[in-house]
Every structure is written in structure tokens, then in C-alpha cells.
Amino acid sequence: MRDRPARDCGGMRSSAIAVSGLRKAYGDKTVLDGIGFDVAAGSVFSLLGPNGAGKTTTVNVLATLLKADAGTVYVAGHDVATATKQVRAAIGVTGQFAAVDDLLSGRENLQMMAALKRVRSGDQVVMRLLERFDLVESADKMAATYSGGMRRKLDLAMTLVGNPQIIFLDEPTTGLDPRSRRTMWEIVRELVADGTTIFLTTQYLEEADQLADQIAVLSDGKLVAEGSAEELKRLIPGGHVRLRFTDPATYRSAAAALRDVTTDDEALSVQIPSDGTQRELRSILDWLDSTGIEADELTVHTPDLDDVFIALTERTSKEAISQ
């Protein structure tokens, strides 16, 4: 979307991650079609997108697991293509599937990380992480016996060994219960408070809304929008009144009578644009009365990230179909 030239990697720079013109294809299937963005140091950047949009591919390129076909990627001031070692020294990655060793205990997993990263006084670091992630009680049990939430916590704790400056979290809360999700969010906020840069991918808008300073929406390998949650919400007029019908015949006549509305044939519902004020709501009701339409259910929606997300990603998939 934005094609910003990569800044030189020497000297002072405020970008923790700078990407431009990033392309990646598998065979003739283009996964990333020239994306670019900057992530300020010490901020949370969220890459938002539906399944298959290319989020994990992006993380894999940024985290040196995958080579890009084209484009420049600087992480912590180093080019991922040429300074792989320096990049790896600066980052920590927690992927979509918990990368813990099932046959080792939580403590042993952390000790292994401390040993591999050559951390001094590793035992203290391990103890502090176990305490911080509330894993002390199960520290000496095999990770295979951990619940999903505990595994994610252990996974993140392992990533934090050695204090990486930049942390990649690829869908860190997918499949977690609401409480575990909130715990993860708390941990992310603490990390940011300590000055860590977070690159987060998620398909949950609420998560991006809660955590991210900057959000980029990825759809079919392209960035379709970028900004803060507030900026994105202003991008599309998402406020509307939704009328739902149970009888298909009533729905069809209502859809025909009401112009300038969005219709959803499957849900038998129509959406009338609205800013959600009392005055406008009354005028809508008057209008419905005058046309003799009686909906079975009426709900008022204020714009949220979901609307932005659906509007933006739908637009690109429609374009793709029409091509």
C-alpha cells in the first residue's frame, strides 16, 4: 500500500521494523503482494486479517524463517536478508502453535532457552519468569500436561528469555478462553511498558483495538487500510440500524421498498445507515411506518472495528471475484 523507501540502517532510527515492497509467492499463488509498513520502537503494531490473508507469512519473513521474493525488510535496524544473525539476536517469536517441548517440564523448557541464549544467572531468570507467568506450581510438571492457556504462557515466557527488543506474536490468543486471553493482554501491556516493541497478528478485532497503537488490515496479500483503531473506525460509516425479518416474503418487499440500504439475503436483514442519534432513529421509524414495513427485530449498531474489517476485506474479495 505505502511504498516507503527503507531508511539506511545506520545511526539513530525510531523504526523497530521497516518493511517496503514485500512480496512472497508460492508457485503462482501470490501470498504477499508488495506490502510496506513501519513499526515505531516501543509500540504495538497489529496486523489484522482473515485466515489465509498472509499474516503468518509476513511474520515468518520478518522473523528470518522465510526469504522474501522482493522488497526490503529491516528489523532492529538490520536487513533480514543479509544480517540474519543480528536480527535473530534482537527478536523473540511466539508462533501460532505453542513451540514448547512437551517432554520437558516448564522449568526445563525455560532452562534450555537460557542455556541456548547463554543467559547469565539463568536459574534466576527462569525463576522470575515462572513467577511472572504464574507457572511456579506446575514448573516441574511435563509441559504435555499443561492446559492450552498454560502452554501459551510458557511459550511466551520462553520467548522472553534474554529480553528480546522486538517480539513477534502470531495469533497469540487464538483458541484461548476469555480469561487466558485477558492474561495475555496484560502481559503484552507490561512488555510495552518496559519498552519492548510488539508485532502482533490477530483475527480478533477486539484484540487489536485493546492493544495496538497502529493497525494494518491485510487482505489477500495487500494492506487495505492502516491507522489507529479510531482512524480505522472513521474510515467507513459503520453506524446503522439493522432490521431483521423472519418471513422471506416480507423481507423481499421491504428490501424492494427501501432504497439505499444494504441487504443480506441469507440473514433476511437490511441495514439502514444511521449515526445512532435519537433524532435520526425517530425519522427512520417514521419512514418505516409510512411504507408499512414491520420488522421482527430492530437493532442499532455503532461503528466498530468489525464493520471496518468486514467492509475492507469484503471489498477486496469482491474485487478478486469480479476480476
Partner 1 sequence: MSAVSMALADSAIMLRRNLKHTTRNPVTVFNAILFPIVMMLMFVKVFGGGFDVGVDYIDYATPGLLVMTISYGLGATATAVNDDMTKGIINRFKTMDVSRGAMLTGHVVITTVRCLVACAVIIGVAFAMGFDPNASAVDWLGALGLIALVSFAASWLTVAMGLAAKTAAGAGMAAVPLIMLPFLSSAFVPADTMGAGVRQFVEYQPFTPIIETLRGLLMGGASSGDTIAAIAWCVGLAVVGYVWAVSTFKKRA
DSSP 68: -
**Positive or negative torsion for Cα 15, 21, 27, 31:** positive
For residues 160 and 198, the answer to whether their CB atoms sit within 8 Å is no
Residues 6+ apart with CB under 8 A from 257: 291, 293
Of 87-95, 208-216, 219-227, 265-273, which segment contacts partner 1 by CB under 8 A? 87-95
Rule CB under 8 A: is residue 158 a binding residue for partner 1?
A: yes
Identify which of residues 199 and 309 has a Cβ nearer to partner 1 in the complex: 199
Q: Which of 88, 132, 252, 301 touches partner 1 (CB under 8 A)?
A: 88
Shortest reach from residue 16's CB to partner 1, in Å: 16
Identify which of residues 49 and 122 has a Cβ nearer to partner 1 in the complex: 122
Rule CB under 8 A: is residue 196 a binding residue for partner 1?
A: no
Q: What are phi and psi of 313, to 5 degrees?
A: -80, -25
Q: Which of 7, 117, 252, 301 touches partner 1 (CB under 8 A)?
A: 117
Identify which of residues 118 and 279 has a Cβ nearer to partner 1 in the complex: 118
Rule CB under 8 A: is residue 90 a binding residue for partner 1?
A: no
Rule CB under 8 A: is residue 79 a binding residue for partner 1?
A: no
**Positive or negative torsion for Cα 202, 205, 207, 208:** positive
Shortest reach from residue 117's CB to partner 1, in Å: 7
Task: Please state, in angstroms and rounded to a whole number, the distance separating the CA atoms of residues 9 and 205.
Answer: 33
Shortest reach from residue 99's CB to partner 1, in Å: 3
Element housing 32 (H / E): strand 29-40
**Positive or negative torsion for Cα 31, 36, 38, 44:** negative
Identify which of residues 113 and 212 has a Cβ nearer to partner 1 in the complex: 113
Q: Which of 17, 98, 205, 305 touches partner 1 (CB under 8 A)?
A: 98
C-alpha cell at 173: 490468543
Rule CB under 8 A: is residue 142 a binding residue for partner 1?
A: yes
Q: Which of 52, 97, 294, 319 touches partner 1 (CB under 8 A)?
A: 97
Centre a 10 Å sphere on the Cβ of residue 132 and count the other Cβ atoms it contains. Answer: 14
Rule CB under 8 A: is residue 63 a binding residue for partner 1?
A: yes
3-state secondary structure of 176: coil
Identify which of residues 86 and 210 has a Cβ nearer to partner 1 in the complex: 86
Q: Which of 33, 69, 79, 101 touches partner 1 (CB under 8 A)?
A: 101
Identify which of residues 99 and 192 has a Cβ nearer to partner 1 in the complex: 99
Rule CB under 8 A: is residue 108 a binding residue for partner 1?
A: yes
Q: Where are the alpha helices (DSSP H) in 133-204?
A: 148-160, 178-193
Nearest to 98 by CA among 180, 177, 153, 163: 153
Q: What region, left, alpha or beta, does residue 39 occupy, with left being phi > 0 and alpha being psi -120 to 50 degrees?
A: beta
Using DSSP bridges, classify how beta strands 166-170 and 91-94 pair: parallel, antiparallel or unpaired.
parallel
Q: Which of 25, 104, 192, 281 touches partner 1 (CB under 8 A)?
A: 104
Q: Judged by CB under 8 A, how many residues of this single chain contact partner 1? A: 29
Q: Where do we find the cell 544467572?
A: 121
Q: Which residues bind partner 1 (CB under 8 A)?
A: 63-65, 84-85, 88-89, 91-93, 95-101, 103-104, 108, 112-113, 115-118, 142, 158-159
